[in-house]
Structure 1
């Protein structure tokens, strides 16, 4: 999560109207707006890898996959987020224009600055989405994929994929190779630009 902007105490509608005129993305949580910051190349690479595999897998199904430019509204938390990747299979979201509200799967790529927030307050907000079946955290440095699956009674079970050939997103019936998740992460960084 970025730093809060100077203007606070938006309501959801004011945030949507305000953000439509902004050059950069911002998240909204209970009246406060937080500027989004850019990501490292490896973060964008992993998000793109996961999105591409999900999009290919879901082609022809009633499900849609989105990458980080689509907003997610969590009405119960009075919040709007930009998940790295999400999938919705809900027909109400097929008609959505500015944001989706009923994802089945959310993926966040961890970074040093957001890991605690993604695991804590953001996951607490996401758990309020009735349709959410899986929440995925990807740790690039550890080459780990953590999949939290909703169980009966709103319990969440962690499946920790580290050192395994595949991870599984049961909500969309996808076995995803770990090599595909982390493809192109270890390429040499380009020379510094002048």
Structure 2
């Protein structure tokens, strides 16, 4: 049975339980994005310029490498999960999807790679809650966390039998072998950013 991630780090939840259809309809016209976690809706914080550059670099690197038939999405496409009978919708910073049957017009459900760029306000959620949720996705082969402050990456790779192997990268010359995308230099993900 999949573990249900804890919400301890979220604030600002709207009271009551919102139906999925109402959430999706509201997101379609909302000025601010919100994540939907088991019936509760949480507003998302804005991103820094640095965060946006790392996401943009990551999108460009992935887009130039994914095989035919795969798609790369970033920031504004939702990921839908079902954990213990509850619906969850997240907005990953980047996502690679290669399943042609995964074609809902508002979200994806079967990514092979998910990427989150850590910020002070989201780091604990990305490392704990989202790790627990994302690693329950059968199609997922890798979960990449990128530090916003310095060139540091943590790649969680599916290791079979439900296990995950962690790799850390600190050297800008390091080559990350990303599932569904192939080799990417860490420096490429941090291009154009002052380091140090």
TM > 0.5: yes
What's the counterpart of residue 163 of structure 1?
Answer: 171
Structure 2, unpaired ranges of 5+: 1-8
Q: Cα–Cα, structure 1 residues 19 and 143, in superposed 2: closer, same or farther, change >3 Å?
A: same
Q: Deviations over 1:51-79 (max 9, x none)?
A: 01111112x61100001010000122521
Does the residue aligned with 1:130 lie in a helix, a strand or coil?
Answer: coil
What's the counterpart of residue 96 of structure 2?
Answer: 87
What's the counterpart of residue 190 of structure 1?
Answer: none
- Aligned with residue 138 of structure 1, among 135, 146, 152: 146
1:47 and 1:67 in contact (8 A); partners too: yes
1:137 and 1:145 in contact (8 A); partners too: yes
Does the residue aligned with 2:65 lie in a helix, a strand or coil?
Answer: helix
Matches within 5 A, 1:27-176: 27-58=35-66, 61-76=68-83, 78-93=87-102, 95-163=103-171, 165-176=173-184
2:172 and 2:187 in contact (8 A); partners too: no
Runs of 4+ in 1 over 4 A off after TM superposition: none
Structural RMSD (CA)? 1.8
Q: Deviations over 1:158-184 (max 9, x none)?
A: 011112513323412421112211111
1:8 shift after superposition: 3.2
Inter-partner Cα distance in structure 1 for 2:117 and 2:95: 12
What's the counterpart of residue 27 of structure 2?
Answer: 19
TM-score (ref. length: structure 2): 0.88
What's the counterpart of residue 191 of structure 1?
Answer: none
Does the residue aligned with 2:161 lie in a helix, a strand or coil?
Answer: helix
Does the residue aligned with 1:117 lie in a helix, a strand or coil?
Answer: helix
Structure 1, unpaired ranges of 5+: 188-194
How many matched pairs?
185
